[in-house]
Every structure is written in C-alpha cells, then in structure tokens.
Amino acid sequence: MPDLIPVVNCPICGSSSYKMVSNCVKTINEKSKLAIELRECSECAHWWNTPLPSQSDLITLYKEASPFVVSDNWGQEIQKKKPILFFDELILSYNYPSSFKHYLEIGCGAGYMFKLMKNKLDVCYGIEPGDWCDVENIVDNISKLPSDITFEVFVLQDVIEHLVDPVLTLSQYSERASDEAILFVSFPNKDTLIAKRKKHKWEMIRPFGHLHYFSKTSLTLLLKNSGWEVTKLIKGPNQFPITHWKTYNFPRTLKKWYQNDQWYVIGERK
C-alpha cells in the first residue's frame, strides 16, 4: 500500500464535526490486516473512510487491479455481459434533445453502456483508468479529452464512491459541460434501514473499493458544491423488470430489492 492520508473534515460539506461509526473497518484485501475508520459528518450525515490513499495512488491501484480496490475475479466479472437494469434503462430511455451530440462516461469499465450510447449520440468519449476496454475514444484521464469539446450528457455509474474527492471530480466535469448538460450518477445510499442497522458491516462498506456513502443531504450538497443541482432523485435498485429475473441471480435480486441501498440521481448545470 502507498502512504495513507487522513481525511479529517467531511469531504462533502467541510465540517470538522463528526461521529465515529467504527474505528476498525477492514479493507477488501482479505490478506491484509489493515483497518481504518468510518466516520459520519455531524452536519450532512455523510459517511466516509479515513485515512485514504491519494487520488493518484488510488488510480495506480486500479490500473494494477490491486486487491485493495477490486476483488480477485474483478477482471472476469467486468467482461461479462449484463442485463439492462434500472439505471441503464433510465439513461438509455431518456428523451434527449435533438441538439445533444456529445456523451462522456466516467468509469466505463469494459464499455458496456458506452457501446449502447454510441447508437444514440454522435460523439462518445469515456474515461477508464483500468485496462479493461479496447474501444476507440476511451482514455485514462480527463486531460486526454479533446479540449474543444463540451459535453451534454455525463454518466458516472458507481464511480463517485470510489473517489478521494468527489466534489473536485464533479467540478472538473462541470467545467467541460454545456449549459444544458445532464448528469446521471449512482452511488451507495447510507440512509437506508439496512445501512443504519448494520453500520460498518453493511456490504457497501468496502474500503478501498468504496470510500464514500451518501445521505440525501450530502448528495444534494455534492452536486451543489460542484456546479450541479438535483432534478430527480430515486432510491434504488427499484423493482427489476420480471424479464430480467431470468438472467439475474434471484436471491441477490430480492436482497437488493429489499435493501434499496443505492441513490440514482439526475442533475443539471446550475
């Protein structure tokens, strides 16, 4: 592991007041004895882990498929074809204005959604630090995007919770957004009963794979502090369509349905 950096203040609202949820949370690396803290902001109820790697070190860990950030079979799992589930359908079925031409997906993995959106919008780019997708126009960081393009559609599916500073990251993409841009983002919902009951044993608590866990207040502040605003907020996963149950693990589907432990957000430029 690289050196770890204490995250003292709330990464979303900046408050120095917090409650200790747990001071001994194991990382997802089963061979490591390293344990870190899980804190809750007293102001916005955001949960975050501390200490953390720097963002550059974190990207290196993902590029190396380190067991501190991904599971052992992650490389095989990310290549599998998935059924189209609720958040995918939300993005694909959205009624985009005819003027929308440019799409940017951050954390596009093997390019599953990226390839589908290439059939809907004219110019598609993706950002993915890992070496999991050999598709044109996917780069490993924002600096490699064409400087003369602004984007109308941004997708961050299960990405924000992996970032050291999610406010800074969304602010960077806000600077590349057209005035009418739309943002789709999903991340763990710590306001659920299952999260409140299980606390640091909630299955979404998986440092350094996940670093942030959002309350309704903290997700609203996340967008506000990075140049966006919430236009639609959904607790999910919602009921998966019955046709998907044949291709999705049934017990896991029921468990996720019951837990409802994700936020699905649509936002627009402020």
pLDDT in tens, 129-144: 877 777 889 998 899 9
**Residue 253 confidence (pLDDT) above 60:** no
Arithmetic mean of pLDDT, 52-71: 91
Q: What is the CATH number of the domain that holds 173?
A: 3.40.50.150
Question: Would you say residue 114 lies in a domain?
Answer: yes
Q: Is residue 46 part of a domain?
A: no
Task: Indicate the pLDDT class of residue 242, thresholds 50, 70 and 90.
Answer: very low
Calpha distance 70→74 (Å, rounded): 6
Residue 102 falls inside a structural domain: yes
In a domain, 5, yes or no: no
Report yes or no on 221 lying in a domain.
Answer: yes
For 27-170, strand residue ranges (E) read 35-41, 47-50, 102-106, 123-127, 138-139, 151-157
Q: Is residue 126 part of a domain?
A: yes
User: Does residue 51 lie in a domain region?
Assistant: no
75 pLDDT more than 90: no
Q: What is the C-alpha to C-alpha distance for residues 167 and 173, in angstroms, rounded to an integer?
A: 10
In a domain, 30, yes or no: no
Global confidence as pTM: 0.89
Q: Is 47 exposed, middle or buried (0-12, 13-18, 19+ CB in 10 A)?
A: buried
Task: Give the model's confidence band at 240: pLDDT under 50 very low, under 70 low, under 90 confident, else very high.
Answer: very low
Number of domains in the chain: 1
- Find the range with the poorest average confidence among 74-83, 153-162, 180-189: 74-83
Residue 267 contacts by C-beta under 8 Å, 6 or more apart in sequence? 182, 183, 185, 223, 228, 229, 230, 231
Q: Report how far residue 62's alpha carbon sits from residue 70's, in angstroms, rounded to the nearest whole number.
A: 7
Q: Which residues constitute the domain of residue 132? A: 80-269
C-alpha dist (Å) from residue 253 to 85, 92, 156, 171: 11, 21, 22, 34
